[in-house]
Structure 1
Amino acid sequence: MTSLILRPSRQIHSLVARRLPHAFSASSSSSSSALPRRFSSSTAGAQAETQDLPTGQTADASSSDPTSTQNKKTLTVEDQLAQKDAQLNEYKDLYIRARADFENLQKITSREKAQAKEYAIQGFARDLVSNIDVLQLALNSVPEPLRTVQEDATTTTSTTEGAPESRKHLADLWAGVQSTKSLLEKTLALYGVTPFNPVGQQFDPNRHEAMYQAQVPGKEPNSVLNCSKVGWMLRDRVLRPAQVGVVQGSDSS
């Protein structure tokens, strides 16, 4: 019974295969092509998911990592502190320099103020010593014998070779001019203005003004021979140089 049923089915299958060969080939090819396509698409999707998953996880892990964010914030704060320290040192250096400059300016100003106070009368004193020179010329114009009044041994009246009264008046005038000159010199001395006569000293171009030179035997060369006009000092500053004659050295020397 079984053999009777199977035998016709085999015959039918072989008969159909011989008469319809294209149908079996098309169906087999379509089924075979469909399987790889299904397999390839699923494999590609799996690969894509496999490739995308670590990247996303890495990005999420890096973005959500609190340690790296804290390190970045710490580095930023440290950089800011370093910049602030550099600025602070720069401003401190500028402050120290400015303070030193200000202190130096104060010292210079105080010194200049003191010098201005000490030498404020320089112009006035220079004009005044010129007037003293005029008084000295007036004193020098009176001969030395006429500068004093001589008392006669036998009488108490003043006697001279000419007119006794005129000589007495001249002597009194000379004494008055001398007193005026001395008073002016004392007043100037209170303010540090003093005269100097360099006769016999070595010539100093900073203090002396040479009016002439002369060869004088027995005198030291380059020494001051005489002084036609005394010099004046205002403390340690030359107010007016002395006008002098200088001894000239011999040609043999």
Structure 2
Amino acid sequence: MTEERNNAQQELDSQREAETVEEIFAEKDASEQSGNIPAQEEEQEDSTEQKIAELESKLEEADNRYLRLQADFDNFRRRSRIELEASAKYRAQNIITELLPAIDNFERALKMDVDNEQAKSLKQGVEMVYRSLLDALKNEGVEAIDAVGKEFDPHLHQAVMQTEDETYGPNIVVEELQKGYMLKDRIIRPAMVKVNQ
């Protein structure tokens, strides 16, 4: 009886397997006829292509953002270097600007005529201090602007008067009323001049 039971069980299992295999083939045939499998594969391919396109666009955007940041950083570094160089180059500009009126006063004092020995020695002392100041300014890169006999240049000269002098050509500086100074390539104070018409 057990053997019959086993045989019956095996037959039942074989039948179930056959039915399952038939169902699978039937479903496959039905789906092939209706075109579901290729449609699903196309949908998967389309969604995969969309994901790839999205990822590529995100990567390109990230690359562009990186390149912009790199360019901004390079520009910042270059500007900082230029500002630092300018700061070192013109570090003495403020003190020089403050000293110019004192130098003007020294020049006025040196133009005075003296008649006794005590005044002459005082004038010599003033002249020594004046030359020391000019040497210190020269060491920092300060130079006086040449004016008399030169053609008027509005960048270097400030015309405060005009005159008619036949010994000079037109637009030539005839007289310097106040010296002008340059620090390296920067004008600190333009020369105040009288210009021939």
**TM-score interval (norm. to shorter):** 0.7 to 0.9
Aligned residue number for residue 31 of structure 2? 61
1:173 maps to: 122
In structure 2, give the amino acid aligned to 1:185: L
For the residue of structure 2 that corresponds to 1:127, the secondary structure is helix
Alpha-carbon offset, residue 69 of structure 1: 2.7
Q: 2:83 aligns with which of 112, 116, 137?
A: 112
**Unpaired segments ≥5 residues, structure 2:** 1-25
> In the alignment, residue 72 of structure 2 is paired with which amino acid?
D
CA deviation after TM superposition for structure 1 residue 124, in Å: 1.5
Offset, 1:65: 5.1
Any runs of at least 4 consecutive aligned residues in structure 1 with deviations exceeding 3 A, and if so which?
A: 56-60, 62-68
Would the aligned equivalents of 2:151 and 2:172 in 1 still touch at CA under 8 Å?
yes
**Offset at residue 176 of structure 1 (A):** 1.0
Residue 93 of structure 1 is aligned with which of 53, 64, 72? Answer: 64
- Where does the alignment leave 5 or more consecutive residues of structure 1 unmatched? 1-55, 147-166, 249-253
Distance, in Å, in 1 between the alignment partners of 2:154 and 2:39 is 84
Question: Contact 2:143–2:182 at 8 Å: present in 1 too?
Answer: yes
Aligned: 1:233 with 2:193: no
Q: Is the 8 A contact 1:142 1:174 kept in 2?
A: no
SS at match of 2:41: helix
1:1-253 equivalences in 2 (<5 Å)? 60-61=30-31, 66-142=37-113, 146=115, 167-248=116-197
| 1:65-118 per-position Cα deviation (integer Å, ceiling 9, x unaligned) | 544433322332122111101111111112112211221121112111221222
Percent of residue pairs bearing the same amino acid type: 28
The alignment's C-alpha RMSD in Å is 2.4
Task: State the TM-score, normalizing by the size of structure 2.
Answer: 0.78
